[in-house]
């Protein structure tokens, strides 16, 4: 029979617990939002600077003070937040529910991929522009390259994430990985996905390896 001291057992328990904790992924709910280019920002907010109002979890990213009204053929949504910093491409990310309200059929795309993105009108107190920029963001997990290794994943892999919540435990397939040097481990879902799975501010997910 093997003999372990109490200290040795404690050490093993601690290691197992740490490993389990490392494998849970915090979940961030993305509400509808807008990314703008410098050019589009200047058109909509002449002589203004983008003004950070609230830091987001991913380093350097923030919700700006400025908002816009987005207008589709069937409806509109007011006070849609602009997220900073400004980007090389303008992009409007909405939920499927928003798409229905606006009367548009937006494609599900990973942020940055504007293939078949749908036209939308963006309105500020100063101006109005119509650009092909609307997508429904594909769910994804931000992580550092160290996280990638720790979780035994490879770049480009598609994973499934189990999310345990009261009355609505859900497994999401088709989850993309977004590894990046400065990213912090966080899964992003939209408000439709969050509601479907009863996700709250403290909900975490777990990767089911494929």
Min separation Cβ 62 and Zn ion, Å: 14
- Contact assessment for residue 36 and residue 198, using Cβ atoms and an 8 Å cutoff: no
Side-chain half-sphere of 33: how many Cα atoms within 13 Å?
22
In the complex with Zn ion, the residue whose CB is nearer, 71 or 161, is: 161
* 35 makes contact with Zn ion (CB under 5 A): no
* 188 makes contact with Zn ion (CB under 5 A): yes
Min separation Cβ 85 and Zn ion, Å: 15
In the complex with Zn ion, the residue whose CB is nearer, 109 or 188, is: 188
In the complex with Zn ion, the residue whose CB is nearer, 40 or 188, is: 188
Distance, in Å, from the CA atom of 170 to the CA atom of 206, rounded to the nearest integer, reads 11
Distance, in Å, from the CA atom of 165 to the CA atom of 149, rounded to the nearest integer, reads 27
Min separation Cβ 188 and Zn ion, Å: 4
11-21 as b/e: b if 16+ CB within 10 A: eeeeeeeeeee
* 109 makes contact with Zn ion (CB under 5 A): no
Q: Which residues bind Zn ion (CB under 5 A)?
A: 188
């Amino acid at each position: 029979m093997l003999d372990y001291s109490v200290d040795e057992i404690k050490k093993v328990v601690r290691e197992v617990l740490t490993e389990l904790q490392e494998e849970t992924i915090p979940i961030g709910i993305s509400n509808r939002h807008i990314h703008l280019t410098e050019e589009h920002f200047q058109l909509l907010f002449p002589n203004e600077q983008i003004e950070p109002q609230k830091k987001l979890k991913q380093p350097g990213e923030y919700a700006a003070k400025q908002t816009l009204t987005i207008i589709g053929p069937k409806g509109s949504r007011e006070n849609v937040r602009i997220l900073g910093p400004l980007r090389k491409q303008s992009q409007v990310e909405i939920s499927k529910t928003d798409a229905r309200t606006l009367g548009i059929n937006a494609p599900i795309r990973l942020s940055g991929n504007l293939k078949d993105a749908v036209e939308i009108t963006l309105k500020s107190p100063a101006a109005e522009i119509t650009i092909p920029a609307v997508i429904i963001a594909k769910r994804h997990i931000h992580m550092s390259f160290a996280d990638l290794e720790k979780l035994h994943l490879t770049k480009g892999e598609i994973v499934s994430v189990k999310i345990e919540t009261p009355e609505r435990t859900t497994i999401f397939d088709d989850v993309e990985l977004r590894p990046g040097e400065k990213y912090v481990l966080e899964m992003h879902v939209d408000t439709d996905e969050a509601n479907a799975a009863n996700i709250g501010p403290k909900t975490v997910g777990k990767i089911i390896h494929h």
